[in-house]
Structure 1
Amino acid sequence: STRVFSIFTPRTSVQWHEIDSVLIGQHLTPEVEKTGRSKIAAFDLDDTLITINGSHKYPKDENDWKWWSKIVPKKIKQIYEEGYKVVIISNQGSFESSKKTSEKKRKDFMNKINHMANNLNIPFEVYVATARDKYRKPMIGIWNYIIEHGNDGVDI
């Protein structure tokens, strides 16, 4: 196997935890310890902010992605600078498959978000629906969670 040196792996910049069936990632910067803001810009991930780097349907690994457009990172940073909290909401049904496959897909996904965080270098949060329940889009469970618990007590 090929050894990957630490300079090629993402810095650990996103802190992860789970609530019910939602995987939550929070990326903070040294200057920002909380992310609550009165305005929220929420985006889907796949085929909105990023896309697969090729013509296949599903990503092969954590590096198999590119920005949907080269302007996306600049726009996300601009939105943050305009006072919005940046939130990414994603359905990841592949996390429900066999345990071995699911663990690899989950790790690849989390590393992909780390790569994005290192590229953006702004605070943001990621909410991932991992089951077919009230949190999965188009249901509003994740949005309700953000309003009630995920905005550091700041009213939206």
Structure 2
Amino acid sequence: MPIILQDDGLHDSSKIAAFDFDGCLAKTSVKRVGADAWSLMYPSIPEKLQSLYKDGYKQVIFTNESNIDRWKNKRQVAVDSKLGRLQSFIKCVKVPIQVFIACGYSEDPYRKPRPGMWQIMEKYFNSGISVDMDQSFYVGDAAGRPDDHSDADIKFAEAIGLKFHLPEDYFGPIEKQGQASQ
């Protein structure tokens, strides 16, 4: 079962703006831990997310976190670090966001590209509101391109039937090193 965070002020909606976290919304590193171990991937993110919120979109992050299962002796440190980064990001962008974190290994039914996290959100965490698939979308960086670490994000969107966007297309160009920060 995934870890689920729900921010105060979150409103369920038929319009879902869904995002991956690492490499899409935030620059992160497996070598750094803690709530401050991230920076904005694109400077336009806060404004884009605030605009979506004003337009009635419910914003949801669907993220895989295999590091949590790998840290057998420091599992709680890994969980706290991931949750801290997500909460810090939400505070930075100033919009309520619902978060689903799949912590298992590759066969976990909730882990992207499998649609388990989406199915839980749709069935139990959207107040029974049907999702308008024509207005909803998913943004993620794992699209199966030659330099991508996987194709989990694009396959996740395909499994659900969501429109898929690459973060660089949705948010614009990445700032030069050191310019984008929280």
Equivalent positions of 1:1-156 (< 5 A) are: 21-28=1-8, 32=9, 34-52=10-28, 57-132=30-105, 133-156=108-131
- CA separation in 2, counterparts of 1:74 and 1:142? 26
What are the ranges of 5 or more consecutive residues in structure 2 without an aligned counterpart?
Answer: 132-182
What are the ranges of 5 or more consecutive residues in structure 1 without an aligned counterpart?
Answer: 1-20
8 A Cα contact 1:90 1:127, kept in partner: yes
8 A Cα contact 1:35 1:152, kept in partner: no
- CA separation in 2, counterparts of 1:98 and 1:108? 12
Counterpart residue number, 1:4: none
Q: Name the TM-score, length of structure 2 as normaliser.
A: 0.66
Describe the shift of the 1:98–1:66 C-alpha distance in structure 2 as closer, same or farther (beyond 3 A).
Answer: closer
Q: Name the TM-score, length of structure 1 as normaliser.
A: 0.76
Counterpart residue number, 1:11: none
Deviation (angstroms), 1:75: 0.7
Describe the shift of the 1:81–1:110 C-alpha distance in structure 2 as closer, same or farther (beyond 3 A).
Answer: same
Deviation (angstroms), 1:57: 4.9
Return 77-86 or 95-104, whichever deviates more: 95-104
Describe the shift of the 1:65–1:146 C-alpha distance in structure 2 as closer, same or farther (beyond 3 A).
Answer: same
Describe the shift of the 1:100–1:76 C-alpha distance in structure 2 as closer, same or farther (beyond 3 A).
Answer: same
Deviations 1:115-156 (A, max 9, x none): 112212221100000113110000001111111111012111
- CA separation in 1, counterparts of 2:43 and 2:56? 22
Give 3-state SS (helix, strand or coil) of 2:74's partner: helix
| Aligned-CA RMSD value | 1.5
Bigger fraction of residues in strand: 1
Give 3-state SS (helix, strand or coil) of 1:100's partner: coil
- CA separation in 1, counterparts of 2:128 and 2:86? 25
